[in-house]
Structures are given as C-alpha cells and as structure tokens.
Structure 1
Amino acid sequence: MKRVLWSALLLLICGTVVFAGGSGEKSTDLDAIRERGVLIVGLDDSFPPMGFRDESNEIVGFDIDLAKEAASRLGVDVEFKPVDWDGVILSLNKGDIDLVWNGMTITESRQEKINFSKPYLDNRQIVILQAGSGISSKADLAGKVVGLQMGSSAEVALNSDADVAASLEEVKKYSNNVEALLDLAAGRTDAVVVDEIVGRYYIAKKPGIYEVMAEDFGAETYGVGIRKSDTQLKAELDKVLDEMKADGSADEISRKWFGEAIVKK
C-alpha cells in the first residue's frame, strides 16, 4: 500500500512540474529577486550608447545607468549578463535573466511572448549609408545589399516594407550593429538599417564616414522586457520609472549620454 501511495504521489508531483513548466516560462517575480538580492539584466554588450564595453572592458551605457538606479530603488543589486540578442526572449523566459534592458523596441510579435514596462524612449529605424554613396531614397536600395542586426527590430521594420525588402539583392545579418557598420564602411554592404539612437551615436564617433538617409523605416518606442508571469516586478518597475522621470534622475542620465533630456514622459 505504501508503495502504491508513493507512486501516486510521484505522479502527482511530476504532473504538477509538467503543468507549471508547460509554457516554457520560468517565473521568479520581485519577491524571489529580493530574496536573492540581485536583479539580472540581459543585454547585447555591443550596443552603444545603450549598453557596451568601455576601454576598461566594463559594461556602461544609458540603459546601464537607468537599470542601476532602478535596481537601487527596488532594493537589490544589479548584474549585467550579455546574451545572444537573437535568443534574448528565450533567455528571459527560461529564467537565465530577469529583464531585458537594452534599447528593446516594443513590437507586436514580442508582446505575444513577453511583457514590457511603460515606454521610456522614442526611436526610429534609420538607414545609414557611406558618405557620398549617391543613394538618397529607399527606392535607390533596389539591387543593393543591406545589413542589419539579426533578431533586431530593424529586421522587422525592413520586412514590414514589402516592396523595398523584395527589391534588395541581399540582406546580410550580423550578431551586432558594430559589425554591420564596419562592413558598410569597408564597402561590403550598401546600407545598414539600425536604431537611430545607436546609429547617430556611432556616426558621431566616425565623422565623415557615414551619412543618414532622409527616409526611414518608421517610429517606435523602447521598453524593458519582462516575463509575462512577473506581474509584481512589472508593477514595481513601472512605478520606479515614473519616479525617476518625475524627480529628474532619468533626465540627468539622459543628459550624460545624449547631451539633452530625451526620456519619454
């Protein structure tokens, strides 16, 4: 009888585990994070000025400073964990990281898989060209090679313009935007589609090499990626972000990185 009862109990436990993990999403939520004492933020560490490595190999950036301030207000330390951007949502839902905070565009396809904080920054998908390329419009991209970061909103934005996407000779996909822009400078591609905030920051570091097309692939907003199950974390993070906007600390961080206050109110 004991053996039968024990077997039944094992079946019940296993069934519960399967049910809880059936969505493939692991929940931690804020209480568990506070008990651990560390908020783990996933990012692409080659995405200036949002998150990147400086000359000392330290991870720095606008989003890094925002996340540090938010974590402090949530009462936890913060750890930054570089991840493959193409698999960042999987990393989040598996529980490898607690948040994605790295200039992440809010898109419908992503919202099907994860939640987002309130938007905190506006952005556009721009087209960067070699200076003097002679390309002046999206129509001029016909038969050209265009680069972009794999798994990025640039890929979504380009594909949303079906006529332009179909006219291209090739779309080259890179693990990060820095590689894409280096290939553009070397003449291995004709254009790069990229977040305006990132692209203009990089252009400023390389004067005379690049120019920006007047046309773009649309406006968008950035948010912090959060697991759908972590409702407590989302509520508290939204509250903290509102406080940071209201007391001017978010603007102060913005001025440090952009020279002006551009945080979305």
Structure 2
Amino acid sequence: MSSITTRRFLQTAATLLVGIVLAACGKQEPAPAPKAAAPAAAPAPAAKVYVVGTDAAYAPFESQNEKGEIVGFDIDVVKALAQKAGIEVKFVNTPWEGIFNALNQGDRDLLVSAVTITDERKQSMDFSNPYFDAQQLMAVKSNSKIAKFADLKKLKVGVQNGTTGDEVVTKLQGKDSANIKRFESTPLALKELEAGGVDAVVADNGVVIHYVNNNVGAKFKTISDASFVAEQYGIPVKKGNAELLAKINKALADIKADGTYDKIYASYFGAAPGAPVAAAPAAAASK
C-alpha cells in the first residue's frame, strides 16, 4: 500500500510541477500602452479679405445692377488687380460723404470710387499710382445759351457734395453762394437739371457723358472749358499702409503691361486709354 501511495504522490507532484511550468511559460506580458495620438495640425489661418469701399452711384465707374451687385469700370480694375496680387477683395457700398472717414478709421482697407488725387487728400491718405485720366465737364439743357464755365458765375449749378466739381464751382461763385446746389450723387444733380431746378451741372466728364448717352430724352448737351485742369484717379489706402500700396502698384503695372487694363477700358469707353470718350462734345471724368 505504501509503495502505491508513494507512486501516486510522485505522479501527482510531477503533474502539478508540469502544470506550474506550463502556466509560467504561458504567462502573457501586459500589452504596451497605446501611443498618444499626434496633435492635429492647426488649421491654416484664413486669407485676409480686403474690404473695398465704393460709392456705387457713379456709373460707369461704380453702380449697382438689377441684382444689387456692385459693377463698373473701377470694380473690374480692382478685381483684375486683386487677381494679379493674389489677394481677396470684398466691395462694400459706402456713401461718398463718409467714405474717407471709413478708410481712416480702418473700416475699409482701400477705396475705389473715381477718387481724384489731390494734394489735400494726400495729407490724410496714401494714393496708388494714377489709373485714370479725368477732367470736369458741364451738362446743360440742349437749348441753353451757356457756352463757357464763366457763364455759371451767377446761375444755379448742381454738384455732388465734396467732389472736385464742388470745389471748382465754389471757387467760381464763392463759398457762401446760395446758387450752388449740392447733392449726394451726380445722377441726382442731373435729375435736378432735367427738372429745371438748376441751370447746369459740373461733374466728372466720364459720369456726365455716361448719363447723357443713356438719357437721350433729357435733351442735354455737354460743354468742356479750357479752365478745367486735368485730373487723375487713384486708389486710396490708409495713411502708412505701405505693404498694401506696394501690392496695388505692382498689380496695376502688371495689368497695364499685359493688356488687361486696355481691355477693361475699351469695354466701358469704346476706345483705348488716352482717346476721347465718345459723347455729345466731350472727353473723360473725376470726383
């Protein structure tokens, strides 16, 4: 009996030993901790959109079409500049009387609104190189006896408030003249001429010609005068914004060099830059 018991004891012990060894061999190492996920790449900053102020009541330079979209010569020029410069622009209709303040306060990054370059304006804003040659022009009724600018000395004259047309008429009649009728836009002044409320309108020749050609029933004629000096339009930016100004000037030179500017000009004025703009006796424009 004892020998059998001993044998069973040894067998049992052997079995237990093998089980222990197998259990030890089968022991699994703990799974490695998962690697921390790489932080997601920060999204690229959105490209700056430059806000362009424009008084969209000055066809053919800037106006609103039937869909409310801002269109015109100036708009097409800036769109072409933006494409060349690789920048995005957004046009915002901005009343003329507050347009310069909007620029100076930073609400607009640049302006395109048939803005004449003047020494006075250069003191508060920086201008691009000129992009349009302009001049003042008179509009009168077709049966009017007015023949020259001096004839307006004592007559009622309509102008757009704060424009160079306003300036030249003020110099002629005096700053206290009650005969100067100021309007928010040149088309409103021309409507007043049509109604007989003023004897003449003095404004940029581009907008005057466009109005006369598109309102034949008004029976206007246009008159130029040797006293009207040549003017040039520029694109204003906030004083000291040299980086944006450099981009605009470079792009302006590029679209003039590759023919883009000439195509835009011809599509609005039917001629190459420098040629007279077709109309009842006249030529080009300015604010």
- The TM-score normalised by the length of structure 1 is 0.81
Which residue of structure 1 lines up, in the alignment, with residue 183 of structure 2? 174
Amino acid across the alignment from 2:224: A
State the SS of the aligned residue for 2:202: strand
State the SS of the aligned residue for 2:124: coil
State the SS of the aligned residue for 2:240: coil
State the SS of the aligned residue for 1:102: coil
Q: Deviations over 1:44-86 (max 9, x none)?
A: 1111011101222221100111111111222222211111211
Contact 2:169 2:180 in 1 (8 A): no
Contact 2:153 2:173 in 1 (8 A): yes
Q: 1:194 aligns with which of 183, 190, 203?
A: 203
Gaps of 5+ in 2: 1-44, 276-287
Q: Deviations over 1:101-147 (max 9, x none)?
A: 11110011111110100001110011111111111122321321111
Please give the alpha-carbon distance, in whole angstroms, between the structure 2 residues aligned to 1:170 and 1:109. Answer: 25
The CA deviation at 1:231 is 0.3
Aligned-residue sequence identity (percent) comes to 34
Q: Which has the higher strand share?
A: 1
Q: Which has the higher helix share?
A: 1
Q: 1:213 aligns with which of 223, 240, 249?
A: 223
State the SS of the aligned residue for 1:89: helix
Gaps of 5+ in 1: 1-33
> Mapping of 1:1-265 within 5 angstroms?
36-159=47-170, 162-165=171-174, 169-207=178-216, 209-215=219-225, 217-262=228-273
Contact 1:103 1:223 in 2 (8 A): yes
Runs of 4+ off more than 6 Å: none
Which residue of structure 2 lines up, in the alignment, with residue 10 of structure 1? none
Contact 2:82 2:251 in 1 (8 A): no
**Coordinate RMSD, CA, aligned:** 2.0
Which residue of structure 1 lines up, in the alignment, with residue 37 of structure 2? none
Contact 2:136 2:224 in 1 (8 A): no
- The TM-score normalised by the length of structure 2 is 0.75
